Amino acid sequence: MKHRLRNLLIACAAAGLFAATRDARGQVTPAEGYTPPDDTLKVNVGGTIFADYTYQDAPTSTDADGGVIHPNSFNLSRAYINVTGQISHWVSFRITPDITRQTVSGTGVTLNTNNSLVFRLKYAYGQINFDDFTTHGSWLRIGTQQTPYVDFEEGVYRYRFQGTIFVDREGFLSSSDFGASVHWNIPMNYGDVHVGVYNGETYSGAEVNNQKAFQARVTIRPAPGVPIVRGLRITGFYDGDHYETDAERKRAVAMLSFENPWVNAGFDYLDAKDRTSRLKTFSTHATGWSAWVTPRTPIGVEALLRYDEIKPNKDNNTVDPNGKKKRFIGGVSYWFPVTKAGIAAAVLLDYENVKYDGFAAGNANNKPEEKRYAVHTLFNF
């Protein structure tokens, strides 16, 4: 009798367990603790707006009648429409048109858009996600996409709405280009690797030769488990390209960055070589560095302090090897409180000073000192 009762209890328990694994339609549900991948089609629409008012204290300019004026204007430097989403958990995408000032005239340009703000394509790529078999956030992209270095530093810097980072502002790197790239997050949050092959002519230009740019960034986080230094990262970047066969275009960047709830800071050093034609007997060798810090307060008030210095050609004695371009940016910002990641709104009052020291008369870098005051705003949603 005891044996029959025991067997009956076991059978009932097994039947109950089996029934518990079925939903109302009789379908077997996943085991407890397992979350199936989300393959729902998703399309999200957002935007980014950078608007500013800028007053130029120096150099002065002249109006139509020859009177001396201080140029000042309201500007819109960025207006993105971000369309992002996923086809499945394997495949995602992004399409982002951007505004630019149309200043080209002549054949192929409609006259009524000349000098107008027009949309152009900034990003348009498909992405294959590798989350199923490697670390989360690893992927392959093809199309018009972010380049490995500029997008990375902008994410730490956070003040792109004031102006581009050092290597972008001086024209050595672009934030976007046509190509294919792969990204891998190192396990346990020790860093990441981003490697790609691009046209090298940036997103605003078509391919003009048979050369391709190889770009690679490696970022290491030395101590992700130590709270006080978790935000410390060491980055190395290399861009190998050619204007034409045997005419090099190379960039190397080393960066040290730190992120903390109370301050973000960064230092990057650039070494660049350009030989625009294989018929030239020498390469232009530029070096420079940038340092910035953004202290924060609990009430949303932040400061921005940044200094850039570039030697456009440190090796060629005929082109002022000691000439330096120096930039200082200082400002105070307020970041409005938000409750959702990816949403941001901020206003920045800033001063920018650019000096051109040691350049001889006739050199393209022999320019007057620049002084600008501005109110910059950011709206990201």
C-alpha gyration radius of the chain: 27
Strand positions, DSSP E, 173-300: 176-186, 191-198, 213-220, 232-244, 247-260, 263-274, 284-295
**pLDDT number for residue 7:** 52
* Predicted local confidence at residue 362, as pLDDT: 77
Q: Specify the range with the lowest mean pLDDT, choosing from 7-21, 223-237, 344-358.
A: 7-21
Q: What is the pLDDT of residue 222?
A: 98
pLDDT at 256: 98
Which residues are within 8 A (CB) of 129 and not within 5 positions of it... i.e. 6 or more apart?
A: 89, 90, 91, 92, 138, 139
The SS3 assignment for 109 reads coil
For the segment 198-210, the average pLDDT, to the nearest whole number, is 92
Q: Has domain 2-380 been given CATH number 2.130.10.10? A: no
**Region of poorest pLDDT, from 34-38, 196-200, 225-229, 293-297:** 34-38
139 and 93 Cβ atoms separated by less than 8 Å:
no
Mean pLDDT on 15-26: 38
Q: For residue 377, is pLDDT > 80?
A: yes
The CA distance from 273 to 31, in Å, is 58
Give residue 219's pLDDT: 98
Does residue 49 carry a pLDDT above 90? Answer: yes
Q: Is the pLDDT of residue 64 over 80?
A: yes
Q: How confident is the model at residue 113 (pLDDT cuts 50, 70, 90)?
A: low
Mean pLDDT for the chain overall = 88
Over residues 255-264, mean pLDDT: 97
Q: What b-and-e string marks burial along 291-322, b requiring 16 or more CB atoms within 10 Å of the CB?
A: bbebebeeeeebebebebbbbbbbeeeebbee
pLDDT in tens, 337-368: 998 988 999 999 999 999 999 888 878 888 99
**pLDDT at 195 exceeding the cut of 80:** yes
Q: How confident is the model at residue 103 (pLDDT cuts 50, 70, 90)?
A: low
Going by pLDDT thresholds of 50, 70 and 90, the confidence category of residue 111 is: very low
For the chain, the structural domain boundaries read 2-380
pLDDT at 88 over 80: yes
- Unique residue bearing structure tokens 């230009």: 205
Q: 137-176: per-residue pLDDT in tens?
A: 999 999 999 999 999 999 999 999 999 999 999 999 999 9
pLDDT of residue 109: 45
pTM of the model: 0.86
pLDDT band per the 50, 70, 90 thresholds, residue 116: confident
